[in-house]
Amino acid sequence: MEWQALIQAQPALAHVPSGLQAVAKRRKTQAGEPLFRQGERPRRVFFVCADEVRLLRRARNGAEIILQRSRGGYLAEASLGAKSYHCDAVTTETAVVLCFPIRVFLEALHEDSTFQQVWATHLAHEVRRLRAQCERLNLKGASDRIIHYVEAEGVDGSVTLHRSRKAWARELGLTHEALYRTLRRMKAEGTLHVGMDRISIARK
C-alpha cells in the first residue's frame, strides 16, 4: 500500500504509526455492502477514502435514520471504546475504505504517545468543526449560513472552496438552487465577493 500517496490525499492519515500502516487493508466495496451491523462487536476501524459510507439505524416505523454521511475521514471513531456498534454502516456506492483492526489501533494508541496525542487533537478539531456546523445549521437564512461559513471556516473573511458548489450547498443544508440565488443576490448587493473558488465578505 502506497502510504505516501494516501497521506497526500488524506492529511488526517498522517502520523499513523508504521506498525498500524502495515496491517491496514484497502477495500473496495460493492454498493449497499454493509461494513458492520448494529450490535456486532467492533473489530475494525474504518477510514473512508472515496465515495460515501452511511451510518444508519432502522426506525420502528421503517424509516432509515441517517446518523452520519461520510465522504472522507475516519468512521465510527466511538467504536474504539465500545462493546458493540450501535448502528449499521453501509456503502451507498462503490466506496473505497481503509480497514484497521481495532486491537492494533488501540495498541498503537496505548504505546505510541505521539499517535495518542495526534488522535486526541484530531478528535478535538472534529468536535470544534462540528459544533460550528451545528450553530450554522441553526441559522435559518441562506445568507446567514454563507456568512457564517466564510467567517468560521475561512481566514480573515475569505475562504477557498475545494469542491463544487453543489457539494457546498449540501454542507450548508441548502438546495443548490437556493445557494446559487443567494450568492447572486449578495454579489449584487455588494455583500460578498464571489470568485471562481474564492468567496470573500465585503468589509463593511
| Among 9, 14, 23, 78, interactor with its own copies by CB under 8 A | 78
State yes or no: residue 110 binds its own copies (CB under 8 A). Answer: yes
Distance between CA atoms of residues 89 and 79, nearest Å: 12
> Which amino acid is residue 154, in one-letter code?
G
Other residues' Cβ atoms within 10 Å of the Cβ of residue 2: 8
Beta-strand runs (E) in the chain: 25-28, 34-36, 44-50, 53-58, 64-70, 73-75, 88-91, 96-101, 158-160, 192-194, 198-201
Contact criterion met (CB below 8 Å) for 71 and 51: yes
CB of 98 to its own copies, least distance (A): 18
State yes or no: residue 167 binds its own copies (CB under 8 A). Answer: no
State yes or no: residue 98 binds DNA (CB under 7 A). Answer: no
| Among 71, 178, 191, 193, interactor with DNA by CB under 7 A | 178
What does the binding site for its own copies look like in residue numbers (CB under 8 A)?
Answer: 55, 57, 59-63, 65-69, 76-78, 80-81, 109-110, 113, 116-117, 119-121, 123-128, 130-135, 137-138, 147-148, 151-152, 156-157, 170, 173, 191, 201-204
